[in-house]
Chain A
Amino acid sequence: MSDNTITFTIDGKEVQGVPGQKIMEAADAAGVYIPRLCHHKDLPPRGHCRLCVVKVDGRPKSSCTIPIEDGMQVENDTEELNEHRRMVLEMMFVEGNHFCPSCESSGNCELQAEGYRLGMITPTLPYIESHREMDATHPDIFVNRDLCILCGRCVRASAIQDGKTVFAFEGRGIHKVITVNAEHGLGETLMDVADAAASVCPTGCLHTKRLGYTIPVGQRKYDHRPIGSDIEQAAH
């Protein structure tokens, strides 16, 4: 083992990482999956969704943003944390209007897949019934804000990968929404269907037009294997 290796534990299992790595990165490399939604491997972490909260030496921290340290003890797959995660996930469902059975993203949707993975059967929380404006002004892409979980992936991808800053947040608290860099709608922006931002959405909010339901049930991304299993299997 070189001096440059950091050793810590996740759920009692020893894991090695390199300095500067975040807990989630090191866990991924070690084949330990930590649930997540706002995080994307090609984008800087932001800690919006809080699904990836783990306990570090007993204190809750978001694993996508906290760097690893020698000897730290991380709890991840515990009943307590999974309970909290299920409830946070439920919050995303009741904040919006997620109609999985008929959604074009069903089967490829990370939100839905996390629901399955974390054993969310049905929301137990009351619905907030917010109504947020839909934007269909772009020829190739629509923004269905009712399905937005405000993960900000499109914001980061557009700014960093595409260099365009097409998306931004607007408003605060429960009134926060995704907005576009134009006076009226997405159609006025430089957004292109080939942009990274167009394919980075984990729900059905930002969706390419005329692609709905093209993949048959049974061949969709999460039809047979739960989300995260690629990470868990890659290391074995």
Chain B
Amino acid sequence: MPKETAAVIEQIARQYDHDPTRLMDVARAVHGRLGHLSELSIGLIAQSLGIHRAQVRDMVSFYAFFSRSPQGKNVIRVCTAVVERMQGADELIEAFEKELGVFLGETTEDGKITLEKASCIGLSDQAPSVLVNGIALTSLQPEDVPGIVAAIRAGEEIDTLPQARVRKNLRQSGPILLGPYDSGDALRKAIRKSPAEIIIELYASQVRGCGGAGFPTAAKWEKCRVSEGSAHYVICNADEGEPGTFKDRVILMDNPELMFDGMTIAGYTIGAEEGMIYLRGEYDYLRGDLERALANHRQLGLLGRNICGLEGFNFDIRIQAAAGAYICGEESALIESLEGKRGAPRDRPPFPVEKGYKEQPTLVNNVETFCCAARILENGGEWFSRLGTVESKGTKLLSISGDCQLPGVYEVEYGITVEKLLRQVGAEDAQAVQIGGPSGSCIGPKDFSRRIAFEDLATGGSIIIFGPGRDLLEYMYQFGEFFAEESCGWCVPCRVGTTLLLKEMRAVLDGHATHTELQAMQKLCGTIKTMSQCGLGQTAPNPILSTLKQFPELYEARLQSGDYFPRLDLAKAVRAGCASAGREMVQLEPHASNGNGKPCDPDPTPKSEGVQR
């Protein structure tokens, strides 16, 4: 057995030239072949790549899709993001647990099927959904479960199941991102200009990065172009992981050529010969089609050597498949991950445009931004700048999910009001809208006249709608769970703070908190925001802070009126002791109520005779 394992690993390592920066690929391939990454495999991978065992274990232990203990031949991952749970993910999990006879995180006795959960798989518009061996099954009902499990057990091809369909759900296409495009058009126009002229065109367009932060794209390209290094790199961030985001999925499925050309134009501009698409592990099912589209692009002479017949213009793109980590959407964590390490954010400065991938100047933009860049070179910066608002030019792709009639992807012009958007998607009765995913802000009806634009409500593209009757705070708690789960653990306020925030929020939700504790929770939010190293920690308290601001009455209704409420449930705490002493707790008198049906008596002293034999 160890001999066979060694042979498999050696063969895989050779495919990647024993290059330790390709550790992610090696680990993925070994995991794919052997089902998990055992301590033996870890040692052998380390040996064949010439690195330390601890380094391999470090990387492997970081990503959700790597298992270090044996898993079933088939892995079912149920997405438990907020929208999925609104649409019945919990019931779906129950159905799987019942059908498989195991709990979440376990493997069936015959070793065939493992049931796991996933943080967010980018299918909130067709929730609840699961990934089975990387293939997406969408819009599931608990009654679908027996059939799916039977098919898996019978060894049927997953992608032939009737539920295996990812709909594009494109509800509104626009002129920039989702309009018709002929491969190479933008590129051929671009190379008639000099790199400096391209940057001038980008400045004229006033385009800003579409990942959420909104940094001026022209400035980023210019900075990267003038940074000195032995090589320059272009990276496309296709790791959209914000719960409720799936807009890049549509570009990747529908119009990857526009994105390829955007990247190639970037390569021409900054002087890079190598481009990489960092594709989130959850989108692995798109990889085959993307590889074919790349091959076709090469065939057309739009990638490779002497592109478009231009002597010396060489550029090619490879796809780096990831392995499930939200933090890798952060550009410096993404670069670490690309280098075969855990996805921990780097300190800045230096910024990636100066020292990025392999310490060289690196341009990281997201899928949407590269598409915008291509359109700008196709139609002109001036054309682009006519769309949108004063500070936000062009259009934005929005992923709309939650309680609405028409969930899906919409290309809208910047400046659209939330009100208008809600009318369009059939959600005029919305109780609240989460703009920009959990890390964005949650707004109520009094703010629905506000606009989606950098100068008002900035968003990376995730719009989650909460209809009337939803327990909003319960979903804010689930956002908190997401952050705690996805914190990389690099810095203390994020690692520990996100976990503590869950405890505090749970106490509020359970009616076990007073005003004093609510204030303490707010203080904790402030520390996490101020002291965390990267965007994840800095935004993790946003769901709580924005609902506290917009819906204080929801918190108020759950608070205890006094100064103090004991968190300790005495009866529960002493149960084990009572049991071992062979005694029983006396049934306590029912607590007095403070009017909202919750106990408020802080005195846990038994009202009757006390403990008896």
Q: Tell me whether B62 is interfacial, beta carbon within 8 Å.
A: yes
Establish whether residues A174 and B497, one from each chain, have CB atoms under 8 Å apart when the complex forms.
Answer: no
Given contacts A167-B54, A170-B58, A174-B496, contact A60 B342 (CB under 8 A): no
Per-position contact with A for B477-500: 1 when CB-CB < 8 Å, else 0?
A: 000000011111111110111111
Q: A62-B347, A88-B531, A172-B488 are in contact. List 6 more A-B contacts (CB 8 A).
A: A66-B349, A87-B527, A126-B567, A128-B496, A165-B54, A174-B489
Q: Tell me whether B393 is interfacial, beta carbon within 8 Å.
A: no
Per-position contact with B for A185-226: 1 when CB-CB < 8 Å, else 0?
A: 000000000000000000000000000000000000000000
Establish whether residues B492 and A49, one from each chain, have CB atoms under 8 Å apart when the complex forms.
Answer: yes
Establish whether residues A173 and B527, one from each chain, have CB atoms under 8 Å apart when the complex forms.
Answer: no
Query: Shortest distance in angstroms between A22's beta carbon and chain B's nearest beta carbon?
Result: 10
A163→B358 CA distance, assembly (Å): 21
A180→B495 CA distance, assembly (Å): 21
Establish whether residues B43 and A126, one from each chain, have CB atoms under 8 Å apart when the complex forms.
Answer: no
Q: Which residues of A contact B530 (CB under 8 A)?
A: 53, 60, 84
A155→B531 CA distance, assembly (Å): 23
Q: Tell me whether A3 is interfacial, beta carbon within 8 Å.
A: no
List A residues 42-57 near B (Cβ within 8 Å). Answer: 45-51, 53
Q: Tell me whether A101 is interfacial, beta carbon within 8 Å.
A: no
Establish whether residues A174 and B54, one from each chain, have CB atoms under 8 Å apart when the complex forms.
Answer: no
Establish whether residues B58 and A179, one from each chain, have CB atoms under 8 Å apart when the complex forms.
Answer: yes
Number of A-B contacts (CB under 8 A): 125
Establish whether residues B54 and A173, one from each chain, have CB atoms under 8 Å apart when the complex forms.
Answer: no
Establish whether residues A124 and B531, one from each chain, have CB atoms under 8 Å apart when the complex forms.
Answer: no
Establish whether residues B486 and A126, one from each chain, have CB atoms under 8 Å apart when the complex forms.
Answer: no
Query: Shortest distance in angstroms between B503's beta carbon and chain A's nearest beta carbon?
Result: 5
Query: Shortest distance in angstroms between A179's beta carbon and chain B's nearest beta carbon?
Result: 6
Establish whether residues A183 and B495, one from each chain, have CB atoms under 8 Å apart when the complex forms.
Answer: no
Q: Which residues of A contact B500 (CB under 8 A)?
A: 91, 94, 125-126, 128
A50→B530 CA distance, assembly (Å): 10
Establish whether residues A50 and B54, one from each chain, have CB atoms under 8 Å apart when the complex forms.
Answer: no
Interface size class of B (residues with CB under 8 A): 35 or more
Establish whether residues B503 and A172, one from each chain, have CB atoms under 8 Å apart when the complex forms.
Answer: no
Given contacts A172-B325, A174-B484, contact A88 B493 (CB under 8 A): yes
Establish whether residues A165 and B488, one from each chain, have CB atoms under 8 Å apart when the complex forms.
Answer: no
Interface size class of A (residues with CB under 8 A): 35 or more
A62→B496 CA distance, assembly (Å): 18
Query: Shortest distance in angstroms between B341's beta carbon and chain A's nearest beta carbon?
Result: 10
Which residue among B39, B53, B498, B531 has the maximum number of chain A CB atoms within 10 Å of its CB? B531
Interface residues of B (CB under 8 A from A): 39, 43, 52-55, 57-58, 61-62, 325, 342, 347, 349, 484-493, 495-500, 503-504, 520, 523-524, 526-527, 530-533, 567
Establish whether residues B486 and A170, one from each chain, have CB atoms under 8 Å apart when the complex forms.
Answer: no
Q: Which residues of B contact A51 (CB under 8 A)?
A: 492
Q: Which residues of B contact A46 (CB under 8 A)?
A: 347
Query: Shortest distance in angstroms between B495's beta carbon and chain A's nearest beta carbon?
Result: 6
Q: Which of B61, B490, B498, B520 contacts A124 (CB 8 A)?
A: B520
Q: Which residues of A contact B504 (CB under 8 A)?
A: 126
Q: Which residues of A contact B488 (CB under 8 A)?
A: 172-173
Q: Which residues of B contact A173 (CB under 8 A)?
A: 484-489, 495, 498-499
Establish whether residues A50 and B53, one from each chain, have CB atoms under 8 Å apart when the complex forms.
Answer: no
Q: Which residues of A contact B493 (CB under 8 A)?
A: 50, 88, 91
Q: Which of B58, B484, B532, B533 contacts A168 (CB 8 A)?
A: B58
Per-position contact with B for A75-99: 1 when CB-CB < 8 Å, else 0?
A: 0000000011101100110110000
Given contacts A50-B493, A50-B531, A174-B496, contact A183 B58 (CB under 8 A): no
Per-position contact with B for A154-179: 1 when CB-CB < 8 Å, else 0?
A: 00000000000111111111111001
Q: Tell me whether A16 is interfacial, beta carbon within 8 Å.
A: no
Query: Shortest distance in angstroms between A107's beta carbon and chain B's nearest beta carbon?
Result: 23
Establish whether residues A88 and B487, one from each chain, have CB atoms under 8 Å apart when the complex forms.
Answer: no
Query: Shortest distance in angstroms between B402's beta carbon and chain A's nearest beta carbon?
Result: 26
7 residue pairs from A and B, CB less than 8 Å apart: A50-B491, A66-B347, A124-B520, A126-B567, A150-B495, A173-B498, A173-B499
Q: Tell me whether A182 is interfacial, beta carbon within 8 Å.
A: yes
Establish whether residues A91 and B61, one from each chain, have CB atoms under 8 Å apart when the complex forms.
Answer: no
Q: Which residues of A contact B347 (CB under 8 A)?
A: 45-47, 62, 65-66
Q: Tell me whether A31 is interfacial, beta carbon within 8 Å.
A: no
A168→B497 CA distance, assembly (Å): 23
A172→B343 CA distance, assembly (Å): 9
A162→B429 CA distance, assembly (Å): 64
Query: Shortest distance in angstroms between B470's beta carbon and chain A's nearest beta carbon?
Result: 27
Q: Which residues of B contact A126 (CB under 8 A)?
A: 500, 503-504, 567
Given contacts A67-B349, A179-B54, contact A47 B492 (CB under 8 A): no
Query: Shortest distance in angstroms between A136's beta carbon and chain B's nearest beta carbon?
Result: 19
Q: Tell me whether A26 is interfacial, beta carbon within 8 Å.
A: no
Establish whether residues B487 and A174, one from each chain, have CB atoms under 8 Å apart when the complex forms.
Answer: yes
A87→B523 CA distance, assembly (Å): 9
Establish whether residues A84 and B526, one from each chain, have CB atoms under 8 Å apart when the complex forms.
Answer: yes
Establish whether residues B53 and A149, one from each chain, have CB atoms under 8 Å apart when the complex forms.
Answer: no
